Structure formats: structure tokens, C-alpha cells
Structure 1
Amino acid sequence: MAPKISRRTVLATGLAGLASPALAVETVRHNVSSFKRVDWRDHFEDLGGGLIIADTASRALHFWNADESIYRIFPTSVPLSEDLTRLGYTKVVRKKEGPTWTPTPSMRERDPSLPPMIPAGPENPLGTHALYLSWQYYRIHGTHDTRKIGRRSSDGCIGLYNEMIAELYGMVAVGTRVRLI
């Protein structure tokens, strides 16, 4: 197994091409082959204002801006089970920095002891930023629990490291089309 390299080490040593947080994490993933580039043309007819493809099998999120001058790939967490995974086309309908988290009815059914709401902060399961999708209860969001990235760990959402959702949040506009595959 290759040794893990922290983002700080990558940035401090100036390794060429690894300054982006997305690329720095990509280099330390155990399953680098899962980061194979996805071709957006297989899923959409045009780039429109930008696109997101979240690949639940490889646990990677792909983003292209409107003129394809920016392409980013981020490691993600994905739903705990295929029963919780919704695949298909949706779009970003709202963006929120410092989101609050409210358990869904199915979460509350499974665990009635859940709090009614968790405000923004380090205990919030949505992390620092959230992209709300047109599907009720589905989000692309950050997480403070970095052990979840690269694993099945959510109730349907796509989770990213907080620094990566902050980067994506800055590039994505409301109306960005999304496909979960």
C-alpha cells in the first residue's frame, strides 16, 4: 500500500499539478482507477451552464463548467444501500452556506431519538455547504466526518470533504444540471 500524502505535504513540497484539493486527494485514494474520467456527452446533449455527474459506483463527482475550461473530480460518500440511491437527472435548485440539517421522515422512523434539527456547525451532517437538488431530501453537501468519504455512509445524499464542497459551491450555479449514475 502506498503511503498517504497529506494535502499540506503536497502543497508544501510543490509537487507539480497537485495543488488542487481535488487532485491532492485523488493521489491518495486507494482505488485510483475509480477516478476514470467520465465523458459528459454520454449523459447530456450540451454543457448548458455547467454539469455535475455523480458516479455512485466509483464514488466520484465530476464537474464541468459551461465552456469546459474547468473540469474537477472529487471523491464522495454515497448512500448506505442501493435502496437509498436515487439515480437519474435532477438539478441544483438552491445553494446554502452553513446549512441546517433536519432528519427526513424515514430517518426519524428508523431512529425517533434524532434531534428535530441541527444548526450549522461542526456537529451538522451537511458540513459547511449544501447544494439542494430538485429531488426532495437529496443534497450534495460537505461533511465534518471525513471517515465517510469513499464509503457508503449516507441516506441518499452525495457527500464531499468540506474544502471540496466549498470549491464546488463556488463554481456551481442554481440551475446546474445533475445526473446520478
Structure 2
Amino acid sequence: MRMRVATLTASALVLLTSSVMPASAQIRADVVIGQNGERIFLDPRTGEVLTVQPPSEVRRLPPEPQFEPFQREEDIRDIIRAERQAERQRQQELRAAMQRERERTAERLREQRAALPEQVPVIPDPQMGTTLPDAVASTDDANTATGAVQSPGSISEPALQAPKSTKPSLAPGKMTVAKAQILLDRVGASPGVIDGVKGQNVLYAMDSWRRLTGELVDFTDESAIEKALQARGGDAFVDYTITSEDVSGPYVAAIPSDYGEKAAMPAMRYTSAREAIAERFHMDEDFLESLNPDADFGRQGEVIRVASTGTPKSGKVTRIVADKSREQVVAYDSSGRLVASYPSTIGSADTPSPSGTVKVERIAINPNYTYNPEKNFKQGDNDEILTIPPGPNGPVGTVWIALSKPSYGIHGTPEPSKIGKTSSHGCVRLTNWDAKELAKMVSPGTTVEFKE
């Protein structure tokens, strides 16, 4: 028998136990390995073969795992491709849902108009783009930068009041959408302004609703919406009595578009009680007026209907995702749980927003705005640095959340009805109330990821 002798050291000597020989006959033995892997135990004094252990009884270690880095990279690529495909599918489904809703709305309008008597003129639905008539013109002094304060004593006597408005009441479908918007707002799935229009902002907010609550609600069924509202705070609309503070402001006659003229004003205040009340209750101005067609918003004691949006969200946000394709800002806590979502305007083709990940550096409430044409954009003929005073109608609204990339931030807006519908100068724009809510939940160091 051909054998190779194992190198014998003190550690190579084994003590045969009862598994090989009886305990009473324990001796020391040399070990050699046969050509087939068997272990042969020899008497070290005589060279006599004591026993042979077959190869099958020899414990063998499992082979070392063979890592395949290229295969793992390919797996990661597959995961990324699958995620992108899922996102494309979701976008397609949302676009299809929006198209179906537009078609249903158009069909309802055709049915409503067909049911009207021929002698009654058809009034265009504001939802289809018709602008409602403006309110009675302001009596503010146009030559005064801050405008004249309308005090309770300046209210006209009843005999001098303007005739009652003949504006159309809201269509039933628009009220259903408005109730859905209020329900979404209450749970932190902000739809932006409450205006009764079911557009992209509302559809994305509905998606956030499912992620926040885990519930499915038919947002086309008013009874289902009413049931969900009662479970989360009660009726969608409540009565509100206009106060002396609402009437007195102070307000300004108008906000100029030119930045040089803005910088000369003492503050970027609201222009009317109607604008201030609409923003306080997260409502579009025209929608507020349509809901209260005969109301005098400059009269102390006037009772109007407003949206009941509930209390602002609270918690600690540690991560923000600014999704450029959805025009939505999504906030998460440290466990990765969705806290809130907001419709947004994120950059433009001319002034794109940042890419990658940045951090929150500081938070300012009711900030000034510094216009620097060399660092940012050029507005009109203004080629010098200007400081525009604070206020809700300033370029950045009432909140500035500065980011670690210079000159960029998350901020409010003087035009809440345009969120998600127009471009910005590279920053992330929210409604003033959404920006204020988010500002209270973030802190310096919170990450902000820009997602294409």
C-alpha cells in the first residue's frame, strides 16, 4: 500500500478514544494518510497498524464561499431597474386616473347643462378655467404704500351697501373634491390650496393618504368622504365670524411686481381681509368667495364658511425627499416612517434645483429676502443688491429653510394657488402654511435629497 506519512509533531499525535479502541487500551499512536484519504493509526514503537479510519468518517470543512462581485452588481442593477419600472408604472396609472377624472368631470358638466331650461343662460363652471368676477374694488388710497387701514368705523351703513352678489354657487362635484382636500390636509397629505379642483396635487396627496393611514377611501364618493371626516375631526366646513383684527389688518393696497418697488415698501403684507382669511384656512381666494358669494369680508361680525383643516402635524423629521418628477416634498422620521407630504414647485429649466443630497442649515420665520442679481437671477432692470422686507407676499413668503448649498432653500410663496403649476428660481417652494408646518419639524442637519 502506497502511503504518505504525516509530519509528526506533538499536536499530530492523537489519543485514541473509545470510538477507536476500548478505554482500557488507550495508547498513543502515529497517524498517516493513505492515498484515498483514509487515516491510518500506527503503534509508534512497533509500527504495527492499530486501526484505519475510512475517508467517509473524516470531517471535512465546507468549501469556502465563492463570491461573485460582478453577479452582485448585476443584482443591484436589476433592483434599480425594477424600482424605476415600478415608478414609471405608478406615473402612468396616475396620469390615467387624472385623464379619467377629467373625462368624468366633462361628462357631468354636459349632463348638467343639458338639464337646464333653454331660457336659462349656461354659467361656465369655475373649475374649467373661468375666472370669477372680482369683489367690489378696494377704497384704499392707491398712493399710500401701506394702504389705508379699513377700521370698523369706516364700514358703510346698510343703506349704502352694494347689491347682493349674483355669483354662482359651487357645483356639487367641486364641493366633493373640496371635502376630500380637507380630509387629506388633516392627516398630513397636503393638497396645497383647497379649491375644489382635482388635479395632480390632489392625486399625489391621495397616494400619500394610503401610505399615512393604510386606509382606502373612495374619494369620488361623498358619503365615504363624510364618514372619514367625522372620524377625523368632524364637518369639512365650519362657521367663522370675521373679527376686528381681520378687518383692520394692516393691509397694503397692492404688491408691485418690480423688486425695486418691493424693497421700498415697509412690509409685504396681505392686500385684503379676504386674502388673509383664505390663507389662514388653506383656501384659494376665489373658492372662499364662491363659498360665500354674498359675504362682505371687510365687515366685522360677518359670519362666513371656512375649511376646517385641523391641527398642524407635529413630530421630528430627519429626512426630506424633494421629488422633482412628482413636484412633491415628502418628510420622514428617523425610523423611515412617512410623516407628511406637500405639493411643491421645484426649480425650472432655466434655474434648476440642486441635485444629490444637502442638509438644512438654519430656519428663519418671516424673513427678509436678499436679491442679488450676480448670484441668482435678474429681475427687471434691477442690477443692484436689494433687501425686500418680510411678509406673506414677499418672494419667499413667511418661511425660509436654508440649505447647505448656498442661495438655495425651502420656502413659502405669495401665490399659493400656483404651487405645483409654475416654475421657481431653483428653490423648493411650498404654500406658506405647509412651509411653516415643515419648519417646526426639521432642525439643522436634516438631510434633503433631490430626486429626479
Same fold (TM over 0.5): yes
Q: How does 1:126-165 map to 2 (within 5 A)?
A: 126-165=396-435
- Can you list the C-alpha shifts for 1:38-74, whole angstroms capped at 9, x where unaligned? x9xxxxxxxx971000011110001012244552110
1:74 pairs with 2:74: no
CA contact (8 A) 1:120 1:128 kept: yes
State the 1:163 CA deviation: 0.7
- Comparing both structures, which one devotes a greater share of its residues to helix? 2
1:88 pairs with 2:356: yes
User: CA 1:74–1:109 in 2, change beyond 3 Å: closer, same or farther?
Assistant: closer
- Can you list the C-alpha shifts for 1:84-106, whole angstroms capped at 9, x where unaligned? 22211100001000111112425
Task: Tell me the distance in 2 between the aligned counterparts of 1:137 and 1:110.
Answer: 16
Q: Paired residue for 1:101, among 362, 369, 376?
A: 369
The count of aligned residue pairs is 169
Q: Paired residue for 1:113, among 379, 382, 387?
A: 382
Match of 1:59 in 2: 327
Task: Tell me the distance in 2 between the aligned counterparts of 1:24 and 1:49.
Answer: 19
RMSD over aligned Cα, in angstroms?
3.4
State the 1:25 CA deviation: 4.0
Task: Tell me the distance in 1 between the aligned counterparts of 2:318 and 2:337.
Answer: 10
Between the two proteins, what is the percent identity of the paired residues? Answer: 27
AA aligned opposite 1:119: P
- Comparing both structures, which one devotes a greater share of its residues to strand? 1
State the 1:28 CA deviation: 5.3
- Can you list the C-alpha shifts for 1:99-147, whole angstroms capped at 9, x where unaligned? 1111242545464427712111133111111110000110100112113
- Whose RCO is larger (CA < 8 A, sep 6+)? 1
Task: Tell me the distance in 1 between the aligned counterparts of 2:175 and 2:356.
Answer: 35
Q: What SS does structure 1 have at the residue aligned with 2:331?
A: strand
Task: Tell me the distance in 1 between the aligned counterparts of 2:391 and 2:369.
Answer: 10
Higher gyration radius (CA): 2
User: CA 1:178–1:18 in 2, change beyond 3 Å: closer, same or farther?
Assistant: closer
Q: What SS does structure 1 have at the residue aligned with 2:438?
A: helix
Task: Tell me the distance in 2 between the aligned counterparts of 1:176 and 1:110.
Answer: 31
CA contact (8 A) 2:188 2:339 kept: no
User: CA 1:24–1:56 in 2, change beyond 3 Å: closer, same or farther?
Assistant: closer
Which structure 2 segments of 5+ residues have no match? 1-101, 106-172, 212-315
Match of 2:80 in 1: none
TM-score by length of 1: 0.76
CA contact (8 A) 2:419 2:429 kept: yes
Task: Tell me the distance in 1 between the aligned counterparts of 2:317 and 2:416.
Answer: 30
Which structure 1 segments of 5+ residues have no match? 40-47
Q: Paired residue for 1:172, among 400, 419, 442?
A: 442
Task: Tell me the distance in 2 between the aligned counterparts of 1:134 and 1:92.
Answer: 6
